[in-house]
Structure 1
Amino acid sequence: MTAPAPSSRPPRAELHLHLEGTLEPDLAFELAARNGVRLPYPDPASLRGAYDFQDLQSFLDLYTANMAVLRSEADFADLTRAYLTRAARAEVRHAEITFDPQAHLVRGVPLAAVVDGIAGVLERSETDFGISTLLIAAFHRDRDPADALDVLERLLATGAPIVGVGLDNAEVGYPPGLFQDVYARAEKVGLRRTAHAGEEGPASNIRDALDLLHAERIDHGIAVVQDPALVARVAAEQVPFTVCPVSNVRLRAVPALAEHPLPAMIEAGMLVSVNSDDPPYFGAYVDDVDDAVTAAFGLTRDQRAALAAASFRGSFLPPERVAAYLTEVEAWRAGA
């Protein structure tokens, strides 16, 4: 039997991935038909044509509207299964999947339908897709922090299989400090902590996420380059940054991929991984992102392997699992 040809891309973890943001137009229309939801577009191609965003808020408006098709446990299971199917083709070996419970509760969708639909698929992710998975509950920073704390308590009370908490949605005007109580509660019960910071907001949001929320990982974080002292600190502490270069360009946080601070972050010795964020909306799954940054910055095989290794090192996996995945990355780097 002939051995399979080595992949052109390294095995990697995806650490910055919003499950709701993986909703492909075709699946959106399928779920809309199932649930009797009318979308304001005649067909999937027309919906995809609307994915031309002026800023973060224009994206969030469409992203939120499309979630109307997600109603039942089966819907969330289908969404999860579709992402994992595509991720397996992208050489993803481990995924830390974020979901937004508040976005569904506000629509009257039961929390159990959301969690059980996702978790039921994730329980078999290694068997069915060859991908280990962890689940993170993110809270909307533009909603009342008391609501986030209430939802966290509900997740804990029901034994939801989450490993951590995150903070996402509109950043400007909603500093990390608003969510200290939520993160303190999460830390007390042993949950891991990540937070969006420094995407459209200033570098000070990154510092506050670290110091006030005790965040262990920063999502996006591209504003860090505005503060050399902070760059030195996060490099020394090896704080993981989950950067989404294509997303940053599509949402106009960065004018063009060639101007993205990713190379500067790497050069500074930061622990940086590349991720997709919301792949259908930005036209790039994580393998496409890998291709894009490789082309834009002329990355060598060693540099691509280093980014892939950083994705595992920045994960919430136990050390022995990280070590096993790093062995895979090194085999790819060596051309095995």
Structure 2
Amino acid sequence: MNKNELKKWVSVLPKVELHLHIEGSLEPELMMTLAKKHQIKLPYANIEEVKSAYNFDNLQSFLDLYYLGASVLKDEDDFYQLMWNYLLKCKEDNVVHVEIMFDPQTHTERGIGFDVFMPGFKRAIQQAQQQWGQSCLLIMSFLRHLTEQSAIETLQASTAYLKDIIAVGLDSGELGNPPEKFTQVFKMAKELGLKRVAHAGEEGPADYIWGAINALDVHRIDHGVRSIDDPQLIAHLIDSQHPLTVCPLSNTKLKVFDHMQEHNILTLLDLGLMVTVNADDPSYFGGYLNDNYHALIDHLPIEKHHLEQLVKNSFNASFMTTEHKQKWLGEFNSG
């Protein structure tokens, strides 16, 4: 298959996405519409200026824009619209199952509670499930630049909605906020029966991946590309098959790698790690799930068997029931 044939082939495959921040799917058009609706003054005169602002050069400058964008999300319908727009994109990209991260503290710090955003999210998810069978789980992420006490209070505030949440996660600025900072709240989440994931080894060192595994007892590592710096960690990840939810376009946009040709996802895959492909914050990083696969095809010596393995890894690394996984993998193998 040539590159164009590979792109067409992977585009129509049933796929899974495991590392997606719903607030990071806020497109400039919706940002401007909601700002106008709520009479919020943004430092942009038009959509073109918003798009040009997306040319940030590091994680912190992205996060500053990310939190500014989230400020336009005010009422239940805003959160419904945000989720609905992303789920429509899943339908377009044939993402049959998605595990979506949301950041409660981004909203509760602004006085907007679980009783506002959760009903909005749930309405969109239920509608997509009813209309085309979309499968969707929610991951509640804690902001690591805030205190562990704030994370504990967030977990406590979520009690009425835990039946709608599959896991907790850890995101935001990695440097200076090691996983060990959140040992207690992750232990509490485990006792509540929640699964655990954590961002580690993107801008932070390989040691943070060890911390996520040992201190937080995570099921998956979000990003994890810095694992390549530690041979012992690589050996452990091959043995344990802890999945890495790698986000290629995000990694290049944030200069984890200067160019996609330098990305190590293929190296990690060939070593035997369970790596997966994901979009992270697609409206900010220049593409949704198919766009990430296409970027790998354009810039790396990736072949059909690599793409097959990446897609299968995503199903296997998901929190779907075993029966649900087997159904999709069975279709994949017979296709």
Q: Does 1:311 align with 2:314?
A: yes
User: Is the 1:164–1:194 contact (alpha carbons within 8 Å) kept by the matching residues of 2?
Assistant: yes
The Cα shift of 1:108 comes to 1.1
Q: C-alpha displacement at 1:130, in angstroms?
A: 3.4
Q: Tell me the C-alpha RMSD between the 2 structures.
A: 1.4
Provide the rounded CA distance (Å) in 2 between the counterparts of 1:33 and 1:119. Answer: 25
Provide the C-alpha distance between the structure 1 equivalents of 2:150 and 2:211, rounded to a whole number of angstroms.
21
Letter of the structure 1 residue corresponding to residue 195 of structure 2:
R
Tell me what 2:180 maps to: 177
**Alpha-carbon displacement from aligned partner over 1:246-303 (angstroms, at most 9, x marks no partner):** 1000001111111111111101100110000000101111100011112212322221
Aligned twin of 2:3? none
Q: Cα distance 1:170–1:6, how it changes in 2: closer, same or farther (>3 A)?
A: closer
The one-letter amino acid paired with 1:76 is: F
Q: 1:23 to 1:64 in 2, by over 3 A?
A: same
The aligned amino acid for 1:98 is M
Task: Quote the Cα distance in structure 2 between the aligned partners of 1:58 and 1:253.
Answer: 14
Secondary structure (helix, strand or coil) at the match of 1:123 reads helix
Whole-Å separation in 1 of the counterparts to 2:291 and 2:188 = 37
Kindly state the Cα deviation for residue 330 of structure 1 after the two structures are TM-superposed: 2.4
- 1:211 aligned partner: 214
Residue 46 of structure 1 aligns to a residue whose secondary structure is helix
Asked if 1:35 is matched to 2:38, the reply is: yes
Q: CA deviation at 1:126?
A: 2.3
**Letter of the 1:15 counterpart:** L
Asked if the contact 2:10–2:293 (Cα under 8 Å) also holds between the matched residues in 1, the reply is no
Asked if 1:116 is matched to 2:113, the reply is: no
Deviations 1:41-95 (A, max 9, x none): 1111210111111110000000101111100010000000000001211110100
Contact 1:220 1:243 in 2 (8 A): yes
Partner of 1:235: 238
Q: Which of 96, 101, 106 matches 1:98? A: 101
Q: Choose which of 134, 151, 155 in structure 1 pairs with 2:154.
A: 151
**Aligned with 1:268 (options 251, 268, 271):** 271
Alignment of 1:17-56 (within 5 A): 17-56=20-59
Q: 1:166 aligns with which of 169, 175, 178?
A: 169
- Kindly indicate whether the alpha-carbon contact (under 8 Å) linking 2:223 and 2:245 is maintained by their aligned counterparts in 1: yes
Q: TM-score, normalised by structure 1?
A: 0.95
User: Residue 36 of structure 1: CA displacement?
Assistant: 1.5
* 2-structure distance, mates of 1:7, 1:293: 11
Runs (4+) of structure 1 exceeding 6 A deviation are none
For these two proteins, the number of residue pairs brought into alignment is 328
- 1:160, distance to aligned residue in structure 2 (A): 5.4
Is residue 329 from structure 1 mapped to residue 332 from structure 2 by the alignment?
A: yes
2:169 and 2:207 map into 1 onto residues whose CA distance is: 18
Structure 1 gap segments, 5+ residues each: none
User: Are positions 1:14 and 2:14 aligned together?
Assistant: no
Q: State the 1:127 CA deviation.
A: 2.2
What residue number does 1:198 align with? 201
Please say if residues 99 and 138 of structure 2, whose CA atoms lie closer than 8 Å, have aligned partners that are also in contact: yes
Point out the more displaced range, 179-188 or 116-125. Answer: 116-125
Distance 1:181 1:206 in 2: 17
60-69 or 298-307: bigger deviation? 298-307
* 121-130 vs 77-86, which moves further: 121-130
Give me the TM-score of the superposition, normalised by structure 2: 0.95
Q: Which has the higher helix share?
A: 2
CA distance 1:159–1:231, shift in 2 (3 Å): closer
Task: Give yes or no for contact 2:143–2:172 (8 Å, CA) kept in 1.
Answer: yes
In structure 1, what is the Cα distance between the partners aligned to 2:272 and 2:10? 27
Match of 1:224 among 227, 238, 255: 227
Distance 1:271 1:7, change over 3 A: closer
Structure 2's unaligned 5+ residue stretches are: 1-7
Residues 287 and 146 from structure 1, CA distance in 2 versus in 1: closer, same or farther, beyond 3 angstroms?
A: same
Which of 132, 136, 154 is 1:133 aligned to? 136
- CA, structure 1 residues 170+7, in 2 after alignment: closer, same or farther (shift >3 Å)? closer
